[in-house]
Amino acid sequence: MPSFDTKLDPNLEAVANAVDTSQKEIGTRFDFKGTSAAVEFKKKEKEVVIYADSDFQVDQVRDVLYNKLTKQKVDIRFLEVGKVEKIGGDKVKQVVTVKAGIESELAKKIVKVLKDSKMKVNASIQGDEVRVQGNKRDDLQAAMALIRKELDYPFSFDNFRD
């Protein structure tokens, strides 16, 4: 029976490269001279931490990061931006989480969208991905198009089997 897996799978190596090039640009830019502006990538936690002196500077650093991520072909919809927190004195930080894997709430939405469409496919939640099965390859391709159209996430479709 033909099937495919739907998942959210960012390229963490490209994220790490984007953070490194952002840090280099921050170090050389005139408007960041003498400030504590910095970007750090914690790969295990899948978090990018932005350090700065003010909220405005956090926004500037985030713009530099987004620019570098776009050049590395990483979709910024993978990022979930947290609140700006004070970390003592006049310093602030912001944690940006890199989403990987489909949460149960989103997986339920995918299953519901496919069931409501009356397509001849079956969707089942398997951990942090959703497996979609159908009798015809055309049905599966239509299901992929529907998922992309209805839900605004950078999904990847893997393990396409005939």
β partners of residue 118: none
Q: In the predicted model, what is the mean pLDDT of residues 118-140?
A: 90
Between CA 111 and CA 123 the distance in angstroms is 6
Summarize pLDDT for 45-75 with one digit per residue, the tens. Answer: 899 999 999 889 999 999 999 999 999 999 9
Q: In the predicted model, what is the mean pLDDT of residues 64-87?
A: 92
1: confidence class by pLDDT, cuts 50, 70, 90: confident
Helix axes 12-28, 55-71, angle to 10 degrees: 130
83: confidence class by pLDDT, cuts 50, 70, 90: very high
Q: What is the pLDDT of residue 42?
A: 92
Mean pLDDT taken over the chain? 91
**CB distance 160 to 14 below 8 Å:** no
pTM for the predicted model, two decimal places: 0.82
- Please determine, for residue 162, whether its predicted confidence score (pLDDT) is greater than 80: no
- Please determine, for residue 108, whether its predicted confidence score (pLDDT) is greater than 80: yes
- Cα diameter, the chain: 63
**CB distance 101 to 129 below 8 Å:** yes
